[in-house]
Structure 1
Amino acid sequence: MDLFDLTGRVALVTGSSRGIGRAIAAGLADAGATIVLHGVDPDRLRAAHEAFADRYGAGRVASVAFDVTDAAAAADGIARVERDVGELRILVNNAGVQHRVPMLELDPADWDRVIRTNLTSAFLVGREAARRMIPRGRGKIINVASVQADLARPTIGAYTASKGGIRNLTRAMTAEWAAHGLQVNAIAPGYIHTQMTQNLVDDADFNAWITGRTPAHRWGTTQDLIGPAVWLASDGSDYVNGQVVFVDGGMTAVV
């Protein structure tokens, strides 16, 4: 399946030392990509790097740590990837945080932190990647959104706003960069069982609501996101641009 072969392509996945980002990075590596892992916790990033090197070989994995919310740091991070690893062909903007509190009690500083981490980072890192990709006439950018790009529920107002912003940032990037050979799309996961959502899985009432509200009658897994990510990173999606692919077990398709 040559359309989905990523052999020799360099892929940076932000926030990939654990969870969804790490699973997507592994999926891209399984398809042949050379992976650049990213994280802010040095111990966790080191452990992920060692695990990937053991599995795929030291020559097919690198790691970089930089603040995705800082413009200068993002520019330096992308420059280091290109200098030390090679031409960046694939960027997955996955870094993100959650903050659960009613909006009437939400500290503006926490609002700003969520928006910066989830949305502004995708703009900053995506822009730096595009500066390199556009002159070469090729590149794939995948932004990680959420079902909260279209839906909302109480206590996660900042997160919901950030993921709605990811949806339209993806469209804005497409409007400006598609003519230069870039494909920019988003994956919108449903409720995925990760360390970040473990407390929700453990809540019997919430767990029952999720399984009842989702036509597939289960939580998603990080493995469910790998196929869509590989497709959007590959030549198989060369005429797909500005789209949000919902990977949610049907949640957003029903009332």
Structure 2
Amino acid sequence: MGMTDLTGRVAVVTGGSSGIGYATVEQLLDCGAAVALCGRDAARLEGATARLRDRFHQARLLAQVCDVLDPAQVAAFAARVEADLGTASILVNNAGQGRVSTFADTTDAAWLEELQLKFFSILHPTRAFLPQLQRNRGAIVCVNSLLAVQPEPHMVATSAARAGVHNLVRSLATEFAPSGVRVNGILIGLVESGQWRRRFDARPPEEQALDWAQWSARLAQKKQIQLGRLGLPDEAARAILFLASPLSSYTTGSHIDVSGGLSRHA
């Protein structure tokens, strides 16, 4: 059993087939929760589910292909979770990755796509699962980035969208508090992911001699991460688990910084 006992609780993780989402599913299962995960990529979801079943033989697990930007698919997913696993009491909104772009090279279409992804990947699941969460006085956790409070000029659209989501968490927390639903988020810095691994694989010839540990340590130094390395998905997942569980029963409308000291804001 993990840090906290979630036996009998039903948790939902969007984007649960890889990275931080997958690590969160593992930790929720470890604490005894029944878990529903979704993702857009059927093959990746299938692979993730097979690995989870292999490790957690007794797990109550549901995986469904679902595009969180499609409200009908999300509503169907919510109905199936309740029918198969029971009423959800935890929702982890784990939205997609960042877009590298400056003001000069971001088109209107790219702005709209980025804003739509960041907002509606939270709005649709929250709307669909809220009635279940209210019945259980549950918790919502939104995975956000440090960009929300510390924007990067090369990620202008993502930074602006992340700031909006940071604000949204506060608003939802205020609105849902009377029904006992808590809403919090985490702010991640640079966390090891498929995205960073792909950049490592595509590293220039002069960096070919470096292994992953050396390359990522150099990256951390360049980005001035005080702990001198990239974060691990498990480290982000532990912060999510804290906010999703009764361990944080008196916390709502707030964010945990999981950036290894990358944060420069007060």
TM-score (normalizing by structure 1): 0.91
Structure 2 Cα separation of the partners of residues 152 and 186 of structure 1: 17
Q: Following superposition of structure 1 onto structure 2, how do residues 95-134 of structure 1 map, counting pairs within 5 Å?
A: 95-134=95-134
Structure 2 Cα separation of the partners of residues 84 and 120 of structure 1: 25
**Match for residue 188 of structure 2?**
189
Structure 2 Cα separation of the partners of residues 151 and 253 of structure 1: 8
> Could you say if the C-alpha distance between residues 208 and 75 of structure 1 is closer, same or farther in structure 2, counting changes exceeding 3 Å?
same
Residue 224 of structure 2 is aligned to residue 211 of structure 1: no
Q: Following superposition of structure 1 onto structure 2, how do residues 45-84 of structure 1 map, counting pairs within 5 Å?
A: 45-57=45-57, 59-84=59-84
**Match for residue 8 of structure 2?**
8
**1:73 Cα deviation from its structure 2 partner:** 2.3
SS in 2 for 1:177: helix
**1:44 Cα deviation from its structure 2 partner:** 0.7
Give CA-to-partner distance per residue, 1:28-86, whole Å, 9 cap, x none.
11111111121111111111111111111264211122221122222222112111221
Q: Is the 8 A contact 1:189 1:247 kept in 2?
A: yes
Structure 2 Cα separation of the partners of residues 222 and 206 of structure 1: 15
Structure 2 Cα separation of the partners of residues 245 and 85 of structure 1: 29
Q: Is the 8 A contact 2:39 2:66 kept in 1?
A: yes
Q: Greater share of helix residues, 1 or 2?
A: 1
**1:118 Cα deviation from its structure 2 partner:** 2.0
Q: Is the 8 A contact 1:200 1:206 kept in 2?
A: no
TM-score (normalizing by structure 2): 0.88
Gaps in structure 2 of 5+ consecutive residues: 208-214
Residue 19 of structure 2 is aligned to residue 19 of structure 1: yes
Residue 232 of structure 2 is aligned to residue 244 of structure 1: no
Structure 2 Cα separation of the partners of residues 206 and 151 of structure 1: 21
Q: Is the 8 A contact 2:101 2:155 kept in 1?
A: yes
**Match for residue 210 of structure 2?**
none
User: Looking at CA atoms only, which structure, 1 or 2, has the larger radius of gyration?
Assistant: 2
SS in 1 for 2:151: coil
RMSD: 2.3
Count how many residue pairs are aligned between Structure 1 and Structure 2.
Answer: 254
Gaps in structure 1 of 5+ consecutive residues: none
Structure 1 Cα separation of the partners of residues 123 and 232 of structure 2: 27
User: 1:233 is aligned with what amino acid?
Assistant: A
Residue 231 of structure 2 is aligned to residue 220 of structure 1: yes
